[in-house]
Amino acid sequence: SAEPLVLGIETSCDETGIGIVRGRTLLSNTIASSMDEHARYGGVVPEVAARAHLEALQPALETALAESGVALADVDAVAVTSGPGLAGALMVGVGAAKSLAVSLGKPLYAVNHLVGHIAADILDAEAPPLEYPTVALLVSGGHTSLLLVRDLTGDVEMLGETMDDAAGEAFDKVARLLGLPYPGGPEIDRAAATGDPDAIRFPRGLSRASDMAKHRYDFSFSGLKTAVARWVEQREAAGAEIPVADVAASFREAVVDVLVTKALAACRDYDVPRLLLGGGVIANRRLRDVALERAAEQGVTVRIPPLSLCTDNGAMIAALASELIMSGRMPSTLQFGADSTLPV
Ligand code: KG4
Ligand code: ZN
């Protein structure tokens, strides 16, 4: 068949993902997360994540094969995330992928994690085909990136990214200072439900006119986090109670506002009427609602893949390799290594 059967391996952060696709058809999306092991540290601990991948890979592979009914020997190609991500975590996946490809005698495709997030969209069987060009906003605990996608298999341009914390990381850190558990995103979301988003005007990072000249598509969330911390400290020093719901809602509004404003600015600047969202922070209802509402006002169509494909997973990695194979791309040599700062 012209449709390649591809096994994808993803280990760039705390999710061990094994995905199996045939062409654009999803056969398995198996994910094991070490999130619980990081909870008491309030964030992903690289060494802990790497060890967890070593333990989780083999069982995840067994599950993916069983679920898809695919025999390992029938796989046409192996794909793996080679970066960006946590170096030690990436190395586990890269090592496993090389061993598998060599032992199976099958080609190996090293792919970029961020481009993989975009490729997740093509596995959405409900959605019409992805059209180009499209602007993509990827928001997770590890990255916050704005990309211009002219072609998934060869023309993806990084427009901007976070200069400090990722948006999900900001949610996690602010949750922590409000005494909410990890991961903070869902907790802030829950607390914000009864809060007033206009109660406190928190800063929108890199949004002043002077910043927009140089960092039009870049993000910064550390100033926002500090502003929340200072606001809470001042309240505490005054012996006042902390209105957690209002702080959560106002913080969430600041993050959502800046994400949506910059993504739609890119759509306007490049005259692109399409915006694709990806990454675990897309679980945020407010982010989806504001993006949909403001995009509609601007005549921009928003695509949001199912959440199981938005968070880190191996299926998107397999999907990207499948596209590369169908477009005639040659496989990688075995000389590549993990590259924690791999560009798109
Ligand atoms: O893509 P993802 O599952 O993986 C990593 O980046 O590791 O994203 C996880 C991040 C965490 O920072 C989490 O707090 C955030 O996404 N997150 C959310 C929500 N659900 C998860 N952030 C805001 N609102 C949410 N509802
Ligand atoms: Zn990711």
- Nearest ligand by distance to the CA of 317: 2
At residue 61, φ and ψ (nearest 5 deg) are -65, -45
Residues 6+ apart with CB under 8 A from 63: 18, 28, 30
For residues 30 and 18, is the Cβ–Cβ distance under 8 A?
yes
Q: Give the number of the atom of ligand 1 that is nearest the alpha carbon of residue 143.
A: 6
Gap from CA of 233 to ligand 2 centroid (Å): 33
The response to whether 284 counts as a known ligand-binding position is yes
Q: Does the annotation list 211 as a binding residue?
A: no
**84 alpha carbon to ligand 2 midpoint, in Å?**
9
Report the C-alpha gap between 313 and 317 in whole angstroms. 7
- CB 195 within 8 Å of CB 243: yes
> Annotation-wise, does 165 bind a ligand?
no
Query: Does the complex come out with an ipTM higher than 0.90?
Result: yes
CA distance 135 to 187: 29
The answer to whether 130 touches 122, Cβ cutoff 8 Å, is yes
Cα 311 to averaged position of ligand 2 atoms, centre (Å)? 6
Name, in order, each residue with C-beta under 8 angstroms of 124's C-beta and a sequence gap of 6 or more.
Answer: 303, 305, 306, 309
The ligand 1 site (C-beta within 6 Å) comprises: 13-14, 140-142, 168-169, 171-172, 183-186, 189, 279-281, 283-284, 311-312
CATH topology of domain 5-122+310-326: Nucleotidyltransferase; domain 5 (3.30.420)
pLDDT at position 244? 98
Q: How far, in Å, are 5, 7, 8, 69, 125 from residue 27 at the CA level?
A: 9, 10, 11, 9, 12
Length of the chain: 344
Q: Is 185 annotated as a binding residue?
A: yes
Quick count: other Cβ atoms within 10 Å of Cβ 230? 10
β-strand pairing of 274-278 with 155-161 = unpaired
Residue with tokens 């499948």: 322
Q: Annotated binding residue at 139?
A: yes
pLDDT at residue 42, rounded to an integer: 85
In one letter, which amino acid is 145?
S
- The candidate with the shortest Cα–Cα distance to 320, out of 17, 117, 44, 100, is 117
- Residue 26's contacts (CB-CB under 8 Å, 6 or more residues apart) are 19, 123, 125, 315, 319
**Phi and psi at residue 150, in whole multiples of 5°?**
-95, -30
| Cα gap 224→336, rounded to integer Å | 38
For ligand 2, the distance from its centroid to the CA atom of residue 26, given in whole angstroms, is 19
DSSP 206-266: T-SHHHHHHHTT-B--HHHHHHHHHHHHHHHHTTPPP-HHHHHHHHHHHHHHHHHHHHHHH
Low-confidence ranges of the chain (pLDDT < 70): 1
Span from the CA of 56 to the centroid of ligand 2 (angstroms): 18
**Closest listed ligand to the CA of 172:** 1
Hey, which bits of 133-209 come out as E strands? 134-139, 144-151, 155-161
Task: In whole angstroms, give the CA distance from residue 138 to residue 126.
Answer: 21
Domain 131-304 has CATH 3.40.50.1860: no
Residue 18: beta bridge partners? 9, 30
Amino acid at 288: R
CA 36 and chain centroid, separation: 19
Q: How far is the CA of 140 from the centre of ligand 1 (A)?
A: 5
pLDDT of residue 1: 54
Q: Where are the domains of the chain?
A: 5-122+310-326, 131-304
Q: Are 134 and 149 in contact (CB under 8 A)?
A: yes
The residue type at 320: L
Structure tokens that stand for 77 in this block: 């190609």
Of the listed ligands, the closest to the CA of 252 is 1
Q: Is the pTM of this model over 0.90?
A: yes
Q: Is 138 annotated as a binding residue?
A: yes
Our mutation pick for probing the ligand 1 site, out of 34, 36, 86, 140, counting the most ligand atoms within 8 A of Cβ, is 140
Nearest alpha carbon, ligand 1 atom 22: 185
> In this structure, which residue's CA is closest to atom 23 in ligand 1?
185
